[in-house]
């Protein structure tokens, strides 16, 4: 009990904290996977609304995920998935509302290049974080 306010402080359980932490680490990866699949399906002409329902995200929840990634102290590796989702959402918005004067094939190539760049960065930061943890030096 807090002596100043008279309120009882309630601490979250360790199990709930671990489940929340694991979920917050998994959500960006699932969102990035949904973004990749949605891009491929849209290019192939397959309308898969369930994927957009579960994997579609607006900018406000994305800001919340960024804030929680800093709150929980996630590394760059985990934030790269959020960066990827943000970049693909911005490109999709620009293409939808403004229009990009390129064909669908060129746009698919651009999205593929962006996906490959982010995949490379994700693997790079994953490897770097893993090496830093093994050698126990600050990177």
pLDDT tens-digit series, residues 103-115:
888 989 999 999 9
3 in a domain, yes or no?
no
3-state secondary structure of 127: helix
In-domain check, residue 1: no
Does residue 80 contact residue 63 with C-beta atoms inside 8 Å? no
Within-domain flag for 5: no
Q: Is residue 8 part of a domain?
A: no
13 vs 16, 17, 24, 67, CA distance in Å? Answer: 5, 6, 17, 22
The answer to whether residue 4 sits within a structural domain is no
Q: Is the pLDDT of residue 130 over 60?
A: yes
Mean pLDDT, rounded, of the chain: 85
In contact, 78 and 30? CB cutoff 8 Å: no
Answer whether residue 9 is part of any domain.
no
Domain of residue 114 covers: 14-135
36, part of any domain: yes
pLDDT exceeds cutoff 80 at 11: no
The answer, as to whether pTM is greater than 0.95, is no
Asked whether residue 2 is domain-assigned, the answer is no
The tally of domains found in the chain comes to 1
CB atoms within 10 A of CB 38: 18
Outline where the chain has alpha helix (H): 14-44, 49-55, 59-71, 76-93, 104-135
Query: Alpha-carbon distance 75 to 132, whole Å?
Result: 12
d(CA 139, CA 133): 9
């Amino acid at each position: 009990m807090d002596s100043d306010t008279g309120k009882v402080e309630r601490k979250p359980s360790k199990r709930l904290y671990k489940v929340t932490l694991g979920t917050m680490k998994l959500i960006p990866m699932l969102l990035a996977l949904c973004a990749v699949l949605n891009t491929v399906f849209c290019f192939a002409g397959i309308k898969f609304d369930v994927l957009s329902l579960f994997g579609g995200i607006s900018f406000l929840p994305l800001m919340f995920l960024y804030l929680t990634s800093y709150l929980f102290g996630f590394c760059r590796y985990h934030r790269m998935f959020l960066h990827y989702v943000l970049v693909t959402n911005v490109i999709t918005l620009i293409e939808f509302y403004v229009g990009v004067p390129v064909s669908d094939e060129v746009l698919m190539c651009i999205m593929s290049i962006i996906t490959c760049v982010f995949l490379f960065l994700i693997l790079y930061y994953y490897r770097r974080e893993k090496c830093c943890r093994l050698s126990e030096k600050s990177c």
